[in-house]
Amino acid sequence: MQRHEVLVIGAGLAGQRAALAAAQAGRNVGLVSKLHPLRSHSGAAQGGINAAVGAEDSVETHIYDTVKGSDYLGDQDAIEFFCTEAGSTVVEMEHFGTIFSRAPDGSLARRPFGGAGFPRTIYAADRTGLALLQAIYEHLGTEEIQTYEEWDLVELVFRDGRAQGVVVYNRRTGEFEGIGARAVVLATGPAGRVYSRTTNSHSSTGDGIALAYRAGAQLKDMEFVQFHPTALLESGILITEGARGEGGILKNASGERFMVRYAPHVQDLASRDVVSRAIVTEINEGRGFPGGYVHLELMHLGKEKIESRLQEICDFARNFAGVDPVTEPIPVLPAQHYMMGGIGTTMRGETNLAGLYAAGEAACVSIHGANRLGGNSLLETLVFGKQAGIAAAAYSATVTDGTVLPEEIEHAAAPVRAMMARTEGAEPLPLRAEMQAVMERRAGIYRNDADLRAGIQELFALRAKRATLRIVDRSTVFNLNVTDALETRNLLDLAEVILAGALARTESRGAHARTDFPTRDDAHWMKHTIAGYNPLGPQLSYAPVAYTRWDPKERVY
Amino acid sequence: MVESVAVPISVYRYDPGRDAAPRYVDYTLDMPRHTPVLTALLRIRSEVDSTLSLRYSCRSSICGSCAMVINSKSRLACQTQVGPELDLHGRIVVDPMRNQPVLRDLVVDQGPFWQDYERIVPHLVPDPAHPMPVGKPNPMTPEEVDRFYETPRCIACGACYSACPAKEADPTFPGPMALAKLYRFVVDPRDGARRERLLRIQPGGLWTCLRCHLCTSSCPKDVRPSERIRDLKELAIQEQGATEAGSRHAVAFKENLHDRGLLNEMRLVRQTDGVVGMLRQAPQGLRLARKKPELLKKPRRIEGQEQVQKLYELLEDEEGGA
């Protein structure tokens, strides 16, 4: 059995930053991912990373914007720490080799982003995630770290009151194996694929969140799902907020710049939840284009600016929507984009389970509260990835080696082997599609009691099919059916948590918009939803929001 | 509603542990013409045969997972639409990438690709003469950022590696992606190992490139690896002079054309490989000369040869000024 002092699962920005921190603390580090690290979904982040480094800007304003953007559900102490770390985090990434876009004077270029008081978003054209991912991967290459690429996470192993390691599935050999660890860091990203229309990659299936949940970790604020206003109509591929930051505007079918009505001060650069709801309202009230979408116009920016600052966007629009943004508007519609919720952690990445840490989109600290601001997620991966790595490294010095017993491997493998033995039953991908349809219909941008209750019933009905999950492929080499089955199981668990939290929260806050409870209710609901696992369904409880200096105010953009 | 067409797709299937030999399995699916090949393959997985194995993740040409050979061309499945392929070929034939062993179906072992990438020391090397500014980013102008050209766009998909005939002929050649990445570090003002990088890559590395530009035409992100390899060759000669057979050949080629407007094959071989190398190649040279005796003759200076020299001067002025 392989053993590490710190084992990081997930090799996107948060995972790699955690691994780097643990290695720098002198620990023996393992890094497991179902993808090659450079193929992680962090690389798809486009717009940028926030840091208040401009002379006119301040950390204080960044904190305020983030608190306000969170609709007062973010923990203010965590937000203060987060924004204070921003400047040094960006500098460090620059020193690691990130090729940021530059201003004429040689400083880091910045662009305006939604919900921000100043141009605060540092960027690398419109591929900031890729630029950061390349740089951290390059820098991590200078440390001794063992990587396990294209291994699926099957189970987290706890014994004697602490994490002992993980059971993983090696796609190359078809073997289930144990990796022992003193501390485990989950940085496995979001579960965007609970929805069918999502900007997230196919790999964003919430594996770490779901397995932590089943192992007893508390999930926090899972009902808060961000829908990005501008995704390509058919494919759901992301068109960065940077497109509006550079001056792009949204128009309805009558050519009206409708955001003027919804956010008179900042129009198209209002917070994402506001813009997404505006688009859906325009469509619902008959002002969308036939088929239900709006236009994102960039033409007035001119060919040179579009092709230099929004190079990837140009390619995406041309290749995936068949439109040229230089001469035509881009048809867009909101799509699931980000999960504010996740495994509940402290600012140090600690979960409620000894030896288990989490960071990045898989975790919920919480700094995004009910709505994340653009440019804050890349920053989160690096700030809290580092914290989780440091904390896991420190913890690992206080415990003995973790071990995974043969019976624990067998326990994790048995359900998968049972699926392989079945000759009848539900296949994972069609079952996943059924679940996605439920989530699109019942837990989208606008929610209500009847839909959410129906959704819970519909998901409950899928449990019977889930019990018959079947793996058709018998191969031991790159048997993707095994991955499909593991992922589908994880998604189904998390879909239930999202619906349960959304049904219980009888208010509208940030990205959670209830048509039957259209206002924010601070007296009853300024608190975090905590979901614990129970075989019958999620058990909800609530935890207070940490707040320091900013009293809740109405959120106007 | 967009009209659907019947799309015949032939997919390479092979599970080395269980199949005696690779085979092609034919599928026909109805889909709109602008459907990406990746979507077609995923529909096969979810509707016809879930055992089809391939790599995919972002479906938006940024993760680099789904590089494969589609109708004989190495490219991303997510970025290739079925309509134009049908127009050109009548059907779609999907194979795994080349120059890497097949693990299963469309999944190849990218181990060699990543090993070649590692060879170029893919990280910034600190420069003791210019330490990083404390607590501040390094200054870098937009013009300096432009010097990277499109190399930061590389998504390491491996399409160029799959398309490269030099890699196929010479497994020690690191391939286009690694060299484009090397260029990215060579021009980085923050890097302290520029000279070592250029010296180290020359033997058996840089000069194996055939300049066929297949890497550039197969790159989904317009990184243009062959142009960056050309840039590296120039930088290497500037750094070290023409010390390799490859660089001597390049310089000899240029001098030949400059002096006479035509290649003098004898002189070219002598300048590239030296007298001993020339003797070693004599049997082959003689065989060639039997078929084309003019090879042994010193070519005449072509008419209007001054104009060739002028062209060289113009080019050198332009590059000097650029």
Determine how many CB atoms are found less than 10 A away from the CB of residue A533.
Answer: 19
B256 CB within 8 Å of a chain A CB: no
Chain B residue numbers with beta carbons less than 8 Å from the beta carbon of A90 are 137
The pLDDT of A453-467, averaged and rounded, is: 97
**Choice among A228, A277, A432, A514 that is catalytic:** A228
**CB pairs under 8 A, 24+ apart, for A284-287?**
A287/A252, A287/A253, A287/A254, A287/A256, A287/A258
Please determine, for residue A279, whether its predicted confidence score (pLDDT) is greater than 70.
yes
User: With helix as H, strand as E and coil as C, how does A134-187 read?
Assistant: HHHHHHHCCCCEEEEECEEEEEEEEECCEEEEEEEEECCCCEEEEEEEEEEEEC
Helix (H, G, I), strand (E, B) or coil at A411: helix
* Element holding A429 (H helix, E strand): helix A428-442
User: Terminus-to-terminus CA distance in chain B, angstroms?
Assistant: 51
How many H-runs (helices) and E-runs (strands) does chain A carry?
16, 21
B135 CB within 8 Å of a chain A CB: yes
Mutate to test the interface with A, among B58, B144, B150 (most CBs of A within 10 A): B58
**Choice among A139, A197, A244, A277 that is catalytic:** A244
**Alpha carbon of B141: minimum distance to chain A alpha carbons (Å):** 4
Chain B residue numbers with beta carbons less than 8 Å from the beta carbon of A437 are none
Contact across the interface for A88 and B123, Cβ inside 8 Å: no
**Alpha carbon of B98: minimum distance to chain A alpha carbons (Å):** 18
**Alpha carbon of B155: minimum distance to chain A alpha carbons (Å):** 8
Please determine, for residue A426, whether its predicted confidence score (pLDDT) is greater than 50.
yes
**Alpha carbon of A519: minimum distance to chain B alpha carbons (Å):** 36
Please determine, for residue A103, whether its predicted confidence score (pLDDT) is greater than 80.
yes
Helix (H, G, I), strand (E, B) or coil at B23: strand
pLDDT tens across B168-218, in order?
A: 999 999 999 999 999 999 999 999 999 999 998 877 788 899 999 999 999
Out of B46, B56, B153, the one facing A127 most closely (by C-beta) is B153
Chain B residue numbers with beta carbons less than 8 Å from the beta carbon of A316 are 60-61
Contact across the interface for A477 and B17, Cβ inside 8 Å: yes
Least confident stretch, A495-509, B99-113, B296-310: B296-310
Look at residue B321 in the predicted model and tell me its pLDDT: 47
Measured CA to CA, the distance from residue A495 to residue A444 in angstroms comes to 12
Strands A330-339 and A294-297: antiparallel
Scanning every residue of chain B, which has its alpha carbon at the shortest distance from the alpha carbon of A37?
A: B63
B163 CB within 8 Å of a chain A CB: no
**Alpha carbon of B29: minimum distance to chain A alpha carbons (Å):** 17
B266 CB within 8 Å of a chain A CB: no
Mutate to test the interface with B, among A315, A318, A472, A487 (most CBs of B within 10 A): A315
Q: What is the DSSP track for B222-277?
A: ---HHHHHHHHHHHHHHHH-S-SHHHHHHHHHHHHHHHHSS--HHHHHHHHHHHHH
In sequence order, what are the beta bridge partners of A50? A121
Please determine, for residue A408, whether its predicted confidence score (pLDDT) is greater than 80.
yes
Q: What is the mean pLDDT of chain A?
A: 96
Contact across the interface for A102 and B144, Cβ inside 8 Å: yes
Contact across the interface for A172 and B153, Cβ inside 8 Å: no
* Cβ contacts from A onto B, under 8 A: 155
Please determine, for residue B322, whether its predicted confidence score (pLDDT) is greater than 60.
no
Contact across the interface for B124 and A138, Cβ inside 8 Å: yes
Tokens 């129906």, residue located: A454
Look at residue B267 in the predicted model and tell me its pLDDT: 82
Scanning every residue of chain A, which has its alpha carbon at the shortest distance from the alpha carbon of B127?
A: A95
Out of A95, A235, A472, the one facing B51 most closely (by C-beta) is A472
Paired tokens of A318:
């041309």
Report how far Cα B225 is from the mean position of its chain's Cα atoms: 5
Please determine, for residue B89, whether its predicted confidence score (pLDDT) is greater than 70.
yes
Helix (H, G, I), strand (E, B) or coil at A492: helix
B134 CB within 8 Å of a chain A CB: no
Is the omega angle on the peptide bond into residue A70 within 30 degrees of 0, that is, cis?
A: no
The pLDDT of A427-456, averaged and rounded, is: 97
Mutate to test the interface with B, among A20, A33, A36 (most CBs of B within 10 A): A36
Look at residue A528 in the predicted model and tell me its pLDDT: 98
Handedness of CA A29, A31, A36, A38 (dihedral sign): negative
Out of A104, A106, A138, the one facing B123 most closely (by C-beta) is A138
Q: Which residues contact A205 (CB under 8 A, 6 or more apart)?
A: A191, A193, A487, A488, A490, A491
Measured CA to CA, the distance from residue A498 to residue A512 in angstroms comes to 11
pLDDT classification of B260: cutoffs 50, 70, 90:
confident
**Alpha carbon of B165: minimum distance to chain A alpha carbons (Å):** 25
Chain A residue numbers with beta carbons less than 8 Å from the beta carbon of B67 are none
Chain A residue numbers with beta carbons less than 8 Å from the beta carbon of B81 are 319
Q: Which residues contact A109 (CB under 8 A, 6 or more apart)?
A: A100, A101, A102, A103, A122, A123, B142
pLDDT tens across B134-167, in order?
A: 999 999 999 999 999 999 999 999 999 999 999 9
Helices in B99-175 by DSSP H: which ranges? 111-119, 142-146, 159-163, 165-169
Out of B60, B122, B123, the one facing A44 most closely (by C-beta) is B60
Out of A43, A91, A477, the one facing B137 most closely (by C-beta) is A91
Determine how many CB atoms are found less than 10 A away from the CB of residue A290.
Answer: 6
- Percent of chain B residues topping a pLDDT of 70: 98
Contact across the interface for B63 and A88, Cβ inside 8 Å: no
**Alpha carbon of A397: minimum distance to chain B alpha carbons (Å):** 30
Contact across the interface for A478 and B45, Cβ inside 8 Å: no
Measured CA to CA, the distance from residue A526 to residue A511 in angstroms comes to 14
Q: Which residues contact A301 (CB under 8 A, 6 or more apart)?
A: A246, A247, A248
Contact across the interface for B122 and A142, Cβ inside 8 Å: no
Measured CA to CA, the distance from residue B73 to residue B215 in angstroms comes to 11
Report how far Cα A98 is from the mean position of its chain's Cα atoms: 22
B35 CB within 8 Å of a chain A CB: no
Q: Which residues contact A7 (CB under 8 A, 6 or more apart)?
A: A29, A30, A31, A32, A165, A166, A179, A181, A183, A184, A185
Of residues A397, A366, A414, the one with CA closest to residue A223: A366
Q: Which residues contact A287 (CB under 8 A, 6 or more apart)?
A: A252, A253, A254, A256, A258
Strands A121-122 and A49-50: antiparallel
Helix (H, G, I), strand (E, B) or coil at A22: helix
Strongest mean pLDDT among A43-57, A499-513, A543-557:
A499-513
Q: Is A300 a catalytic residue?
A: no
B107 CB within 8 Å of a chain A CB: yes
Determine how many CB atoms are found less than 10 A away from the CB of residue A556.
Answer: 11
Cα angle value A98/A102/A108 (rounded, 5°): 70
Q: Which residue has the higher pLDDT, B223 or B239?
A: B223
**Alpha carbon of A228: minimum distance to chain B alpha carbons (Å):** 16
Q: Is A244 a catalytic residue?
A: yes
Please determine, for residue B301, whether its predicted confidence score (pLDDT) is greater than 90.
no
Strands A342-344 and A363-364: parallel
B238 CB within 8 Å of a chain A CB: no
pLDDT classification of B317: cutoffs 50, 70, 90:
confident
Paired tokens of A3:
């053993």
The pLDDT of A508-514, averaged and rounded, is: 97
**Alpha carbon of A54: minimum distance to chain B alpha carbons (Å):** 13
Chain A residue numbers with beta carbons less than 8 Å from the beta carbon of B155 are 38, 43, 130
* Element holding B9 (H helix, E strand): strand B4-13
Instruction: Report yes or no: A51 and A120 within 8 Å, Cβ to Cβ.
Output: yes
Measured CA to CA, the distance from residue B190 to residue B104 in angstroms comes to 41
pLDDT classification of A511: cutoffs 50, 70, 90:
very high
Look at residue B294 in the predicted model and tell me its pLDDT: 78
The pLDDT of A21-49, averaged and rounded, is: 97
Scanning every residue of chain A, which has its alpha carbon at the shortest distance from the alpha carbon of B152?
A: A131
The DSSP 8-state label assigned to residue A424 in this structure reads S
pLDDT tens across A365-383, in order?
A: 999 999 999 999 999 999 9
Distances (CA, A) of A510 to A112, A200, B71: 21, 20, 48
Instruction: Report yes or no: B120 and B201 within 8 Å, Cβ to Cβ.
Output: yes
Please determine, for residue A446, whether its predicted confidence score (pLDDT) is greater than 70.
yes
Paired tokens of B135:
């607590």
10 Å CB burial of residue A298 (0-12, 13-18, 19+) is buried
Look at residue B320 in the predicted model and tell me its pLDDT: 58
Measured CA to CA, the distance from residue A79 to residue A102 in angstroms comes to 27
Mutate to test the interface with A, among B34, B56, B60 (most CBs of A within 10 A): B60
Contact across the interface for A429 and B46, Cβ inside 8 Å: yes
Q: What is the ipTM of this complex?
A: 0.95
- Percent of chain A residues topping a pLDDT of 70: 100
Instruction: Report yes or no: A90 and A49 within 8 Å, Cβ to Cβ.
Output: yes
